[in-house]
Amino acid sequence: MNRQDSSGKGKPSGRGSNNTRKGSSARGNAPFKKENTNKQAGRQNNVESKPVVKKAPQKNTATGVRLNKYISNSGVCSRREADTYIATGLVTVNGKIINEMGYKVALTDDVRFDGRRLNPEPNTYVLLNKPKGFSTTDSESKGHTVMDLVANSTTAKIKPFGRLGRNSTGLLLFTNDEQFRQKFTKKGMDRLFHIVLDKNLKGEDLKKIREGFKIDDKLISVEEVSYITNAPKKEVGLKIKHTGNSVIRTIFDHLGYDVAAIDCVTIGALTKKDLPRGRWRHLTQQDIDMFGRL
């Protein structure tokens, strides 16, 4: 047995043994296969892990405020609670659900919580006694506008509610309260006008206005109409619920009169008392409560 072993017949030669090890390494060595697999995965990962450019939601980063602060300022909740509401998709900006932390919005954006529009400013109401020569618009690029007259009244983003023609005068209300605006745009608000015509208003025409009539199949109606006491019959008091005053000219044009002057005397229970032409004042809490009862 010893001689057999020493002759090499009883065990594989060193060369054969090396071939076997090399063959085994090529076919089944685990580290080699793992390295090969990683290279393949690396190549795949290089393809699959290319950076995907996602379009960020629109935001106003230059002049905006953080969405959670906007919500908190509106009085709905704290900033921390606002983050929770944002994350759960209860907040929309300009009609799109926003759940990005740190998203910024502008004061002019339409921000809604659970469907209700939010206002990050306190509700503000300003009453102006408008003079002639100023157009009723919230644009700042049209020269003489009513916004010039109330520019120093507040930092809130107020807008005129209702309209008065450039040459019309009298009371005009401004607010940033969207719920107020929607409520009274829908149901109307009593406004009393002092109107001066180019000639006396006939009794039959006064009756027509009082009873209502149609123009182009559209019913034209007013709340009240009467001659002004102790004044010529070309001066008329007219109460309407329309938010504009174009209906006034429509009525008298149809009946054959030219309107020389239009002056808004009252809005609801608000009057021009102690408010000279061209001046403004903030509504008192009593004034605001009065609108709540309408």
Structure tokens at 197: 């015509």
Residue 234 is given by DSSP the state: T
Contacts of 65 (CB under 8 A, 6+ apart): 73, 104, 105, 107, 120
pLDDT at residue 117, as a whole number: 86
DSSP, residue by residue, 108-124: TS-EEETTEEP-SS---
- Report the DSSP beta bridge partners of residue 191: 240, 267
DSSP-based three-state secondary structure for 235: strand
pLDDT at residue 121, as a whole number: 80
pTM of the model: 0.65
DSSP-based three-state secondary structure for 294: coil
Q: Is 111 left (phi over 0), alpha (psi -120 to 50) or beta?
A: beta
Structure tokens at 167: 């040459």
Helices (H), 141-202: 146-149, 178-187
**What is the C-alpha separation between 64 and 77, in angstroms, rounded?**
20
Structure tokens at 98: 């926003």
Place of tokens 């938010």: 243
The one-digit pLDDT tens for each residue of the chain (294 residues) are 444 444 444 444 444 444 444 444 444 444 444 444 444 544 444 445 555 555 555 544 446 889 998 888 887 788 899 999 999 999 999 999 999 888 999 878 999 998 888 887 888 999 999 999 999 987 655 568 999 999 999 988 899 998 899 999 999 999 988 888 888 988 889 999 999 999 999 999 999 999 999 988 888 889 999 999 999 999 999 999 877 778 899 999 999 999 999 999 999 999 999 999 999 999 999 999 988 776
pLDDT at residue 8, as a whole number: 46
pLDDT at residue 137, as a whole number: 82
CA distance to 193, 195, 240, 264, per residue, from 220 (Å): 16, 17, 10, 19
The residue type found at 199 is: K
**What is the C-alpha separation between 171 and 178, in angstroms, rounded?**
20
pLDDT at residue 48, as a whole number: 52
Domains present along the chain, CATH in parentheses: 65-117 (3.10.290.10), 125-187+272-292 (3.30.70.580), 191-267 (3.30.70.1560)
